[in-house]
A and B are shown apart, each in its own frame.
Chain A
Amino acid sequence: EVQLVESGGGLVQPGGSLRLSCAASGFTFSSYWMSWVRQTPGTGLEWVATIRQDGSANYYLDSVKGRFTISRDNAKNSLYLQMNSLRAEDTAIYFCASGGNTAFDFWGQGTLVTVSS
């Protein structure tokens, strides 16, 4: 059974940093592009970042470029999102998802990030 389990969310002040993790199991993680997608009541679903299978290419939403970094460790079947210089508008539920070069096949349950003073 495919499982994606996010962790690392929480409350952070504006300008702060947070690192999200996603533990993958039930599929050959190293064979899949992986992505982060976020959701807020106001803006709906929003793609954030995607990384190629071997980590050789990354793609980002314009508003997070230079602040967020997507990475992966195929030996640990894990995906990461380092978020720096956080803003109130980054407040959302962050989902880890397989895919991104095509559709998003499987999704984790999400982790809530709240940026507030």
Chain B
Amino acid sequence: DIQMTQSPSTLSASVGDRVTITCRASQSISSWLAWYQQKPGKAPKLLIYKASSLESGVPSRFRGSGSGTEFTLTISSLQPDDFATYYCQQYNSFSRTFGQGTKVEIK
């Protein structure tokens, strides 16, 4: 199975900060990567697919980049609604695998 490793596990930031989360795959997954946002007690929500394509309705402050084995999710200016846990997920191979998550906390 392809292992997905996110860093950091927790991130403390303030409203207005630029935030970057990294996701590394154990082998090349081309651009077959998605990013999700999850809030407590809720289902994950798709933000980014194919590494850099913004899902409809997602604010443009979210940006995904990368290919191969290294990927990043950047939030250009953190908003109060963005405090949540973020997961990357590869869909290069069956079985699909997720990163362990990055919790974005209020500083």
Interface residues of A (CB under 8 A from B): 44-47, 50, 59-62, 95, 100-110
In the complex the two chains form, is B44's CB within 8 Å of A104's CB? yes
In the complex the two chains form, is A100's CB within 8 Å of B44's CB? no
Q: Give the one of A45, A60, A101, A109 with max B CB within 10 A.
A: A45
Interface residues of B (CB under 8 A from A): 1, 34, 36, 42-46, 49-50, 55, 87, 89, 91, 94-101
Give the residue of B34, B36, B98 whose beta carbon is less than 8 angstroms from that of A46.
B98
In the complex the two chains form, is B98's CB within 8 Å of A109's CB? no
B25 to nearest A CB, angstroms?
15
In the complex the two chains form, is B94's CB within 8 Å of A109's CB? no
B57 to nearest A CB, angstroms?
11
- Give the A-B contact count at a CB cut-off of 8 A: 53
A109 and B45 alpha carbons, distance in the complex (Å):
11
**Which residues of chain B are near A101, meaning CB under 8 Å?**
91
**Which residues of chain A are near B100, meaning CB under 8 Å?**
44
A92 to nearest B CB, angstroms?
13
Q: Given the known A-B contacts A102-B49, A103-B34, A103-B49, are A47 and B96 also in contact in the complex, defined by CB atoms under 8 Å?
A: yes
B42 to nearest A CB, angstroms?
7
A110 and B42 alpha carbons, distance in the complex (Å):
8
**Which 3 pairs show the lowest CB-CB distances between chains A and B?**
A107-B43, A103-B34, A47-B96
**5 chain-A/chain-B pairs, Cβ below 8 angstroms:** A44-B87, A47-B98, A95-B43, A102-B50, A108-B43
In the complex the two chains form, is A44's CB within 8 Å of B94's CB? no
